[in-house]
């Protein structure tokens, strides 16, 4: 992220977006251009063009549609995360089957939004992704966890490796609580909660809270 030109001491979030529908793409460029502290450095009509823009501009976040020609959103996400680990990906879609959502999650997507998301939601998702945090639209989160619940159970040793408190923290994460809310619920410090979260993520091989939610449902810890 670059220093903000407004001189307010903030940072400018550099974004590339990819959508094969010209009307949607142009609308997003306009919408994002109105958000304070956000700069659209490139817009692509397909995944391959998006990859070229990422290599050229090294954006903080790529806002990518799942269904695109030549290189779809899942493959685009996977290639961005593999080749440009400092660039995060937020998936934006009107419709996607549950398997595509899970595939995008496994590919490294940091956030998921529907295309009817408002400017505030998009801005929040972009900034969360740039900060290494996950944002999942409510409807998409429901579909993700339901799809995960129908999937293959995780290895037993992965669940058994968690302590009782780590499992409790995981259950609260799946319920949608923030670290601050978890700390309040368990009557511990937020620093303690962060330690538990870091430990359970490492033990279960989780990258972010979206993966943690899916893992919790697959393991029968939530739901």
CATH number (domain holding residue 208): 1.10.10.10
Q: Among 146, 179, 194, where does a domain finish?
A: 146
DSSP per-residue letters across 76-134 = HHHHHHHH-TT-EEEEEES---HHHHHHHHHHT--EEEETT--HHHHHHHHHHHHTT--
Give tens-digit pLDDT for 69-112: 888 888 999 999 989 999 999 988 776 555 677 778 778 888 88
DSSP single-letter state for residue 181: H
Shared-domain flag, residues 164 and 62: no
Q: Residue 54 is part of a domain; what is its CATH number?
A: 3.40.50.2300
**28-37, 83-92, 164-173: range with lowest mean pLDDT:** 164-173
Q: Which of 38-52, 123-137, 180-194 has the highest mean pLDDT?
A: 38-52
Query: Same domain for 32 and 102?
Result: yes
Q: Please tell me the predicted confidence (pLDDT) of residue 157.
A: 40
End-of-domain residue from the set 122, 146, 170: 146
pLDDT tier, 209 (very low <50, low <70, confident <90, very high otherwise): confident
Q: Is the confidence at residue 18, as pLDDT, over 90? A: yes
Residue at a domain's end among 123, 146, 169 = 146
In a domain, 49, yes or no: yes
Residue 223 lies in a domain: no
pLDDT at 150: 57
Statement to judge: residues 106 and 6 lie in one domain: yes
The domain containing residue 174 runs over which residues?
A: 153-218
Burial (CB count within 10 angstroms: exposed 0-12, middle 13-18, buried 19+), residue 95: exposed
Q: What is the mean pLDDT of residues 137-150?
A: 62
Residues 121 and 170 in one domain: no
Max mean pLDDT among 40-54, 95-109, 167-181 falls in: 40-54
- Residues 132, 182, single domain; the answer is no
Q: Is the pTM of this model over 0.95?
A: no
- Supply the pLDDT for residue 137: 66
Count of domains for the chain? 2
Query: 122 with 184, same domain?
Result: no
Pair 139, 30 in one domain: yes
Residues 37 and 116 in one domain: yes
| Residue-level pLDDT at 142 | 64
Same domain assignment for residues 120 and 169: no
Taking alpha carbons only, the member of 53, 46, 43 closest to residue 87 is 53
Q: Give yes or no: residues 62 and 135 share one domain.
A: yes
Residues 142 and 181 occupy one common structural domain: no
**162 and 123, same domain (yes or no):** no
């Amino acid at each position: 992220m670059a220093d903000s030109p407004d001189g307010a001491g903030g940072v400018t979030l550099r974004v590339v977006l990819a959508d094969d529908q010209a009307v949607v793409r142009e609308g997003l460029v306009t919408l994002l251009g109105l958000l304070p502290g956000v700069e659209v450095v490139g817009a692509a009509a397909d995944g391959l063009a998006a990859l070229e823009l990422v290599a050229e501009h090294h954006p903080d976040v790529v806002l990518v549609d799942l269904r695109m020609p030549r290189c779809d959103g899942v493959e685009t996400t996977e290639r961005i995360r593999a080749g440009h680990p400092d660039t995060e990906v937020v998936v934006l879609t009107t419709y996607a089957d549950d398997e595509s959502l899970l595939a995008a999650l496994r590919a490294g997507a940091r956030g998921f939004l529907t295309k009817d998301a408002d400017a505030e939601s998009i801005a929040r998702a972009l900034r969360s992704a740039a900060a290494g945090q996950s944002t999942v639209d409510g409807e998409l989160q429901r579909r993700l966890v339901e799809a995960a619940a129908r999937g293959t159970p995780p290895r037993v040793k992965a669940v058994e490796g968690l302590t009782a408190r780590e499992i409790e923290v995981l259950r609260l994460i799946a319920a949608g609580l923030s670290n601050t809310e978890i700390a309040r619920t368990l009557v511990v410090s937020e620093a303690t909660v962060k330690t538990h979260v870091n430990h359970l993520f490492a033990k279960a091989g989780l990258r972010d809270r979206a993966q943690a939610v899916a893992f919790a449902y697959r393991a029968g810890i939530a739901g």
